[in-house]
Structure 1
């Protein structure tokens, strides 16, 4: 009987840990669209003429009902499906890399990344602020989680990226 109680207690504790890993921070909120915000799949980060740069392919990111509409418009072999399977939809009509200069004071907000080399360290923390320097270390670290597979929303002012926000994909 004691073993059963101990086992049940451990299972409940593990379940609480796993579910809390997805509830850290505030709730998910979509990144607002604006004239100065674009969404890209980052191809590379580097230096050009002494400036920090980002190469990326612009995409269109849709969520909710808008994703459902775009999914039905763009996909041809969907049978009787009427909505985007995962609640989001990406359109990439022109696969073309563009180079963007990153402001040295750019704000970076991450949702999910490898914080410490453990699976427990890859929990979701909505809009976690990290320094640009830390982002430059996170991006190539693809051991447990490859953040290059996530879209990023870029806010551009005066020709420079001033904000980088990782888009969470369920």
Structure 2
């Protein structure tokens, strides 16, 4: 009986611990929701090449791209990669960058910036969906490419009256 208890107790402990860890991780991290543009606004998906801040304000140098998710990604992948030898994009998204034309936009001083993942001072680099940060903080963390090079992520920008009013980082696995 003692041997059976010694065998069953560790197994029971493993089962209890793994089930509690699974439920905690699901509760702590909400599900991913694809970006949706506000109706009636001009939205572009871009790579940000540079952020410039001077006495005239903040300007961003961007490379517009085409961003596809889900079924649209499957169709774009089939169109652009017909001989790839795989069924579709591996992570459910597909990016097309038809040319290297850059554009420069001014950024509104009160622009909303929503981040998914970035270097939070080396302590917590987990995903935090649509975490609002200030424009000043975005400029600061964008310039620190030692741990996270934020220029590798796409961004959805909203343009109103010729200036960017919203910057939303697109998480890519």
Question: What TM-score range do you get, normalising by the shorter chain?
Answer: 0.7 to 0.9
Instruction: Name the CA distance, whole Å, in 2 between partners of 1:128 and 1:107.
Output: 10
Name 1:98's counterpart in structure 2: 103
TM-score (norm 1): 0.82
Q: Does 1:77 pair with 2:83?
A: yes
Instruction: Name the CA distance, whole Å, in 1 between partners of 2:27 and 2:150.
Output: 20
> Unpaired segments of 5 or more residues in structure 2?
1-5
For the structure 1 residues 124 and 163, does the alpha-carbon distance in structure 2 shift closer, same or farther, using more than 3 Å as the test? same
Give the structure with higher Rg (CA): 2
Instruction: Name the CA distance, whole Å, in 1 between partners of 2:120 and 2:146.
Output: 11
Instruction: Name the CA distance, whole Å, in 2 between partners of 1:53 and 1:82.
Output: 40
* Contact 1:24–1:126 (8 Å) recurs in 2: no
Alpha-carbon RMSD across the aligned residues, in angstroms, is: 2.8
Aligned to 1:134, the other structure's residue is in SS state helix
Deviation (angstroms), 1:94? 1.5
Instruction: Name the CA distance, whole Å, in 2 between partners of 1:93 and 1:117.
Output: 35
Matches within 5 A, 1:11-160: 24-33=28-37, 35-47=41-53, 50-79=56-85, 81-118=86-123, 121-160=124-163
Deviation (angstroms), 1:41? 0.3
Deviation (angstroms), 1:109? 0.1
> Unpaired segments of 5 or more residues in structure 1?
none
Deviation (angstroms), 1:85? 1.6
* Contact 1:24–1:124 (8 Å) recurs in 2: no
Deviation (angstroms), 1:142? 1.5
* Contact 2:41–2:159 (8 Å) recurs in 1: no
TM-score (norm 2): 0.81
* Contact 1:43–1:55 (8 Å) recurs in 2: yes
